[in-house]
Structure 1
Amino acid sequence: MPDSPHEDTPAAPIPTPSLEDLQHWTWVMGRAQQMMLEHFAAQGMEQATRAPDELARTLFGWAAPVADPGELIRQQTRLWTDGLAVWQRALGGEAAPDVAALAEKADRDRRFAAKEWRDNPLFDTIRQTYLLVSDRLLGSVDAIEGIDEATRSKLRFMTRAFVDAMAPSNFALTNPQVIERAIETRGESLLAGLEHMLHDLTRGQLTHSDPEAFEVGRNIATTPGKVVAQTKLWQLIQYAPTTETVLETPLVIFPPWINRYYILDLNPKKSFIRWAVGQGLTVFVVSWKSADESIADATIDDYVLAQIEAIDAIREGLGVESVHAIGYCVAGTMLAATLALLAARGEADKVASATFFTAQVDFTEAGDLRFFLGDEQMEVIRQLSADKGYLDGRYMAATFNLLRGRDLIWNYVTSNYLLGEEYPQFDLLHWNGDTTNLPAVWHRAYLQQFYRENRLARPGGLTIDGTPIDLGQVRTPAYVQAGREDHIAPPQSVWKITHHFAGPLRFVLAGSGHIAGVVNPPEAGKYQYWTNEAKVGTLEEFVAGAKETKGSWWPDWRAWIQGHGGRQVPARGARVPGKGKLKAIEDAPGTYVKTR
């Protein structure tokens, strides 16, 4: 012990590594070099050496405007002052209120919540400094003058993506957990992480879950049923009833073709399809084919007409006049176009009711995907799909991951690559990585005509199968579900359906986002939903007068369906897959969902 606080404490001697330690770490470095050389020899260096600024231009097509110089000076001064306060606290001084609040924020941030970030003053200071700089960078977006709100939103998104990427948790030398794990495992964790990274570079996609843990038809997408119809674009699955009677009007579900349908049929406890069957509904689902050369020329018209074709097949097969229809995400957008086309043809009665899961029809307030629709990005999409006529699903997967980069990219960079952890066994993440290819003609037309030109929202703005359509002519009863935290189809965008449809409509705002807000079984007891029986004009008015109900909105939807045709029929004959006019082709989940 020193006699006075000013006397230096002798530093602890650094232990001398043994010959065995030196040999082991030499082997670790040599093995890492060998793995990288083998990978780049096989793959080439073109993508690995691509300039970061070129990549940024490709993804965002963006150059940042300049902020007001005076405001920049003021912000830099505040940053410098607060930064000094952070270091003063690290050296044992009294923390200012703002800095103390910053420390509490750091403890709540999942990236820095582990004790290793707090135990070492250096890493504690690193994380607080990072959060301080991040806050100032994001705040500086509001200081930029002379830009419209759309441009400001784009810059805010870009800035958030940048600060998320620069987090000290994403780098080995600034992440104490990575350093500690490397020491504990004697470098094995670094080799395991490098192996994960090189594997992902080879397959061109970030791995989120154990690729061997799940198999379609074995432990996901297991609800019993049969494929009862098939075209080059889709397979139609009918599910076996589990109740003695069922609603006379059957249900057909149109999932988005940018993902696999089994998001609605994960494990039995999460499956909306299995739950709906148990609620006494005759359930059909369309399983879309992942695009290949055979459907490379599919258009918007083809997907709308495919919905009508499936509806007609069910009506004829079961001998019923109409169906209940569900459209999820982009399939909900197309379902709105389908309803408008049926109305224009005088065939609206084919659909007794329509339900929309997080679907947009008016894109004036669309989600963050609009930041990927500049001329440069559209040209990239054209080039990527020029050879085969379809867009590799990995491109869309990367785009959706970028929308939630902190959770879907950098979280896994840390765990998979830096810490070398084993992949988790999580069915939702498995589905998220199970990509589908998209017909290039359809994809470019959808982005151009819906997101950029907003044609569907204009009467006569879109023509399907030679017929101009108008959403204002849709009088089909509609149930519209939106997710309060949806980053793909924001609730304010989904709400705009209420401004276009002319029939009775029930709007439900669910807790959580684009997936968890939909896949929320009652047994889980999670989240909540809001309803408002008053006729209101804006989402803000809806929320202000809404009633909150704990748990899943699924029972609310089931009661609503009952109110639009409650007649029961025995669950036999054509209600059993393959026993009526619709003959069984193969067991569910079918072939198309397994096609890569």
Structure 2
Amino acid sequence: MPEASAPSAARFTKAASVAGQAEGSAPPPPAAPNIPGQLAENMERIEALTQRLAAALSRRPMHDPGVEGPGADLMVNAGLAWAKLWSAQPARIVEQQVKYWGETIAHYAEIQSQLARGKLAVPEDAEAETDKRFRNPLWQSHPYFNLVKTQYQINARAMREAAAKLDMQDPVDQHRLNWLTNQIIDMFAPTNFLATNPDAIERALETEGESLVKGLANLVRDVEAHGGEMIVSLADRNAFAVGENIGTAPGRVVRQERLYELIQYSPSTDEVHAVPIVLFPPWINKFYILDLKPENSLIRWVVDQGYTLFVVSWKNPDISFAETGLADYVSAYLSVMDAVEEITSQPKLNAVGYCIGGTTLALTLALMTQRGDDRVNSATFFTTLTDFDEQGEFTPFLQDDFVEGIAAEVARTGIFAASLMTRTMSFLRANDLVWGPAIRSYLMGESPPAFDLLYWNGDATNLPGRMTVDYLRGLCQQNLLVGEGYPMMGHMLRLSDIQLPVCAIGCETDHIAPWTYSWRGVAQMGSNDKRFILSESGHIAGIVNPPSKKKYGHYTNDGDFSDGPEAWRDSARFAAGSWWPVWEEWLRERSGPMVPARVPDDGFGPAPGSYVHETP
């Protein structure tokens, strides 16, 4: 194992010797405090920042208890399972406890023995530490930190085993209990606390406390910026400006309605395909994820291939949108299609939906089929869920206690606040999106990075109250689009109603819309012309994957959808590089002949428009 650097080891050894005098020796007489000037100044700054922090936290809004954590039912069911296990198999519980006690005592005895010998012995054949939280060599070589780390790992293992071995009656409850256990384990990692984080202590010593002052300032900044909520900033909010150094593809806002702005992008070729494309992004986030920089902009790339491209920029709703439901978004889709047809004088268009934008596109297409409206020539779905029979990592949040809590919250406030959505999504990857950034920002005193993707991730939007409940209950919980039909505008909408050519892109490591779930939804659509492409990477990086980067490959398969996603994957062909050209080849066949390029009218101002700048 790597050894600690001499300065690091020396600092901690000296600190230990001062803290623990030899047994029986007389303590030194108290000395007058000798605080360096910089340290004294930092202490004053900490006091002022602490007062600001207290004031900011006092402004935290009160939320319905149902959105703050699992309801009492889960705790009661876990308690009943524990009582059942204790009465039926007491030896099993005793065995677990004895195992935990034995590991703890053996660990403590080993540390005592090594300290008595004057050093911490690290076996030459010790396995390399795979947890990136414990990369500092002091976790292995220093007795104190090694004791803390190893005991944490013993505790974590015991907690996971205890939760996993409970005989919960409902597998959903078991899933939620395991998830909650892991959240507690991650929250109490020693790296999350100054006294047990060697990196943070070293930085504080090196900077005479300046890093802690900066960390506290970062914490105060985040709490103040989020109205009393403790949400760590993932990116430098001053490094980017939408329309200036991100989201800069040229175009014009050609329609402006209460719920959306419609952007038509300027052509970069002399001719374009006759059939235009309209892209519906999710309104959970802002559309410029598809136009961060010129070199990774899907919007610019589509335009460069010779297409007339329209993109919807959704309104960031306030309380006045409380009664806006899924039916209103479907009506907006139809309104957008009307606008595209009017502007281009083309009776057909190709539609693209991303994430929940694709889910709502599926509802719209089913409605259009039942109405006999055949304007959409083909549909493409980016990481879209339409079959919610399996809920994956969202299972803990899609049960009645959470959904009823959200319903009560939006009934009171009119919206599902961006901060609550951000928090929910972040805790799906807590170590990467919560605790890791918090350590760097608050314990190490580092400034957030100038990272465009993380800037976009933090540029959150509210959700209309009624739409939130429509989506959670009707689609996620009841799965009506697959089952008896989703009721809307006098129709019962089903996936089987979608009969036009379909192409869907799933992403291999997507934790928000797992590709197997996306695949199953496409399989149930009524079209005889269906294509599925599986990209490497996740929900964002798998989609924003330009050909120039040659970073992530993709899988294709000409077979049908009859044998399940795993069989599809097993017989699929892998190709290096982006899926964009493969999709464009499919799209080209459904986009008509070439016509003179269409230049957008002046409309309502330049892209990216005004709605994208609205904040919660």
TM (norm. structure 1) is: 0.89
**Using a 3 Å threshold, how does the CA distance of structure 1 residues 78 and 322 change in structure 2: closer, same or farther?**
farther
Question: Which one of 585, 589, 593 corresponds to residue 604 of structure 2?
Answer: 585
What SS does the corresponding residue of 2:395 show, helix, strand or coil?
helix
Question: Which one of 279, 285, 292 corresponds to residue 253 of structure 1?
Answer: 279
**Using a 3 Å threshold, how does the CA distance of structure 1 residues 352 and 85 change in structure 2: closer, same or farther?**
farther
CA distance in 1, matches of 2:305, 2:458: 30
What SS does the corresponding residue of 2:35 show, helix, strand or coil?
helix
Question: Which one of 45, 55, 66 corresponds to residue 31 of structure 1?
Answer: 45
Aligned position for 2:24: none
Aligned position for 1:594: 613
Question: Which one of 415, 420, 434 corresponds to residue 440 of structure 2?
Answer: 415
After superposition, where does 1:237-252 map in structure 2 within 5 Å? 237-252=263-278
Deviations 1:529-574 (A, max 9, x none): 2222222421111122122222221111111112323522221xxx
What SS does the corresponding residue of 1:161 show, helix, strand or coil?
helix
Shift of 1:370: 3.2
Whether contact under 8 Å (1:370, 1:451) holds in the other structure is no
Shift of 1:265: 1.0
Aligned position for 1:506: 531
Whether contact under 8 Å (1:61, 1:377) holds in the other structure is no
CA distance in 2, matches of 1:122, 1:319: 74
- What is the one-letter code of the residue matched to 2:47? Q
Shift of 1:17: 9.1
CA distance in 2, matches of 1:524, 1:86: 48
CA distance in 1, matches of 2:74, 2:314: 32
Deviations 1:291-342 (A, max 9, x none): 0244332111110111111112112210112111111111111011011001
Moved more, 58-67 or 127-136: 58-67
Question: Which one of 464, 468, 476 corresponds to residue 500 of structure 2?
Answer: 476
Whether contact under 8 Å (1:329, 1:357) holds in the other structure is yes
After superposition, where does 1:385-396 map in structure 2 within 5 Å? 385-396=410-421
Aligned position for 2:4: none
CA distance in 1, matches of 2:609, 2:435: 35
- What is the one-letter code of the residue matched to 2:603? A
Q: Does 1:537 align with 2:563?
A: yes
Aligned position for 1:311: 337
Alignment gaps of 5+ in structure 2: 1-12, 20-29, 115-119
After superposition, where does 1:265-276 map in structure 2 within 5 Å? 265-276=291-302
- What is the one-letter code of the residue matched to 2:539? H
Question: Which one of 163, 170, 175 corresponds to residue 153 of structure 1?
Answer: 175
CA distance in 2, matches of 1:554, 1:485: 18
What SS does the corresponding residue of 1:487 show, helix, strand or coil?
coil
CA distance in 2, matches of 1:47, 1:512: 37
Aligned position for 1:73: 94
Aligned position for 1:192: 214
CA distance in 2, matches of 1:89, 1:564: 70
After superposition, where does 1:64-103 map in structure 2 within 5 Å? 64-65=78-79, 66-67=81-82, 68-69=85-86, 70-83=91-104, 91=114, 100-101=126-127
Q: Does 1:561 align with 2:587?
A: yes
- What is the one-letter code of the residue matched to 1:485? T
Deviations 1:136-156 (A, max 9, x none): 433333312143332222122
Aligned position for 1:522: 547
CA distance in 1, matches of 2:322, 2:534: 36
Whether contact under 8 Å (2:168, 2:174) holds in the other structure is no
Whether contact under 8 Å (2:56, 2:220) holds in the other structure is no
Shift of 1:96: 11
Deviations 1:62-102 (A, max 9, x none): 553445444443334444455566567763568698xx44x
After superposition, where does 1:124-203 map in structure 2 within 5 Å? 124-202=146-224, 203=226
Aligned position for 2:369: 343
Shift of 1:53: 12
After superposition, where does 1:431-442 map in structure 2 within 5 Å? 431-442=456-467
Alignment gaps of 5+ in structure 1: 1-8
Identity of aligned residues (%): 37
Whether contact under 8 Å (1:60, 1:377) holds in the other structure is no
Q: Does 1:444 align with 2:469?
A: yes
CA distance in 1, matches of 2:500, 2:218: 50
Whether contact under 8 Å (1:224, 1:240) holds in the other structure is yes
**Using a 3 Å threshold, how does the CA distance of structure 1 residues 352 and 71 change in structure 2: closer, same or farther?**
farther
What SS does the corresponding residue of 1:455 show, helix, strand or coil?
coil
CA distance in 2, matches of 1:146, 1:394: 33
CA distance in 2, matches of 1:493, 1:128: 38
CA distance in 2, matches of 1:243, 1:10: 69
Deviations 1:248-276 (A, max 9, x none): 11111100001111111111122111111
Tell me how large the CA RMSD over aligned residues is: 2.9
CA distance in 2, matches of 1:298, 1:87: 60
Whether contact under 8 Å (2:243, 2:608) holds in the other structure is yes
Q: Does 1:321 align with 2:347?
A: yes
**Using a 3 Å threshold, how does the CA distance of structure 1 residues 442 and 24 change in structure 2: closer, same or farther?**
same
Q: Does 1:493 align with 2:517?
A: yes
Shift of 1:528: 2.1
CA distance in 1, matches of 2:244, 2:14: 63
CA distance in 1, matches of 2:48, 2:42: 10
Deviations 1:221-263 (A, max 9, x none): 1000000011100000011111222221111110000111111
What SS does the corresponding residue of 1:364 show, helix, strand or coil?
coil
CA distance in 2, matches of 1:165, 1:292: 33
Deviations 1:356-379 (A, max 9, x none): 111111111123223123444334
Whether contact under 8 Å (1:85, 1:96) holds in the other structure is no
Shift of 1:498: 2.9
Shift of 1:27: 4.2
- What is the one-letter code of the residue matched to 1:156? N
CA distance in 2, matches of 1:417, 1:477: 51
Shift of 1:11: 10
- What is the one-letter code of the residue matched to 2:269? T
Shift of 1:381: 2.5
**Using a 3 Å threshold, how does the CA distance of structure 1 residues 76 and 458 change in structure 2: closer, same or farther?**
same
CA distance in 2, matches of 1:59, 1:209: 36
Aligned position for 2:315: 289
Shift of 1:43: 4.4
What SS does the corresponding residue of 1:552 show, helix, strand or coil?
coil
What SS does the corresponding residue of 1:378 show, helix, strand or coil?
helix
CA distance in 2, matches of 1:566, 1:56: 52
Shift of 1:119: 4.2
- What is the one-letter code of the residue matched to 2:309? V
CA distance in 2, matches of 1:132, 1:476: 55
Q: Does 1:426 align with 2:447?
A: no
Whether contact under 8 Å (2:237, 2:455) holds in the other structure is yes
Moved more, 68-77 or 198-207: 68-77
Shift of 1:470: 2.2
CA distance in 2, matches of 1:478, 1:45: 48
CA distance in 2, matches of 1:54, 1:303: 25
